[in-house]
Amino acid sequence: LRSLPFSVDYWILYWNKELFDAKGIKYPESFEQLVAAAEALTDPSSNTFGFVARGLKNANTPVWTSLMLGYDMTPLGSDGKLRTTSPEAIEAAALYKRLMTKAAPPGVTGFNWAEAQSAFLQGKIGMWFDGVGFAPPMENPEKSRVVGKVGYGVMPKGPKA
């Protein structure tokens, strides 16, 4: 061991309670419900989208590998070899692709955390998956249109976790 981590930023699902209530949708408890909620909340005609996350190349790696956990898969095996071509990793990638193509705003493939956060702060995104360290602006009325409307939850259960 050469060093200790400076910080750990646990990933959570931010969700817009107002958008969920307007559609009569409950917080998702499974990946299947996550996709259903994201797609039900999406209405391009009102510029409202059900899901946002990092889409930018390399910035998107923690999104994908976090989704892999729901398939009981980590990106590295105990032998130190990548498991990113495993069936579980491919399923996680397919889930990620569906969310980002069917329920995310246009241009999301160019989003890093800042663009995803900014989109969520505008009040037109149902769910945002990212680190808990990005929570403070959510309740700052000078930066957020979703003050008092945000739920903070754990990622719903995947098929194997």
Domains recognised in the chain with CATH numbers: 11-153 (3.40.190.10)
| Three-class secondary structure assignment of 120-157 | HHCCCEEEEEEEHHHCHHHHCCCCCCCCCCEEEECCCE
| Nearest-angstrom CA–CA distance, 68 and 66 | 5
Count other Cβ atoms within 10 Å, centred on residue 79: 6
* CA proximity to 32, closest of 157, 141, 121: 157
User: Which amino acid appears at position 30 of this protein?
Assistant: S
pLDDT at residue number 101: 97
* pLDDT by residue, tens only, the chain of 161 residues: 576 766 677 899 999 999 999 999 999 999 999 999 999 999 999 999 999 999 999 999 999 999 999 999 999 999 999 999 999 999 999 999 999 999 999 999 999 999 999 999 999 999 999 999 999 999 999 999 999 999 999 999 999 97
User: Which amino acid appears at position 134 of this protein?
Assistant: F
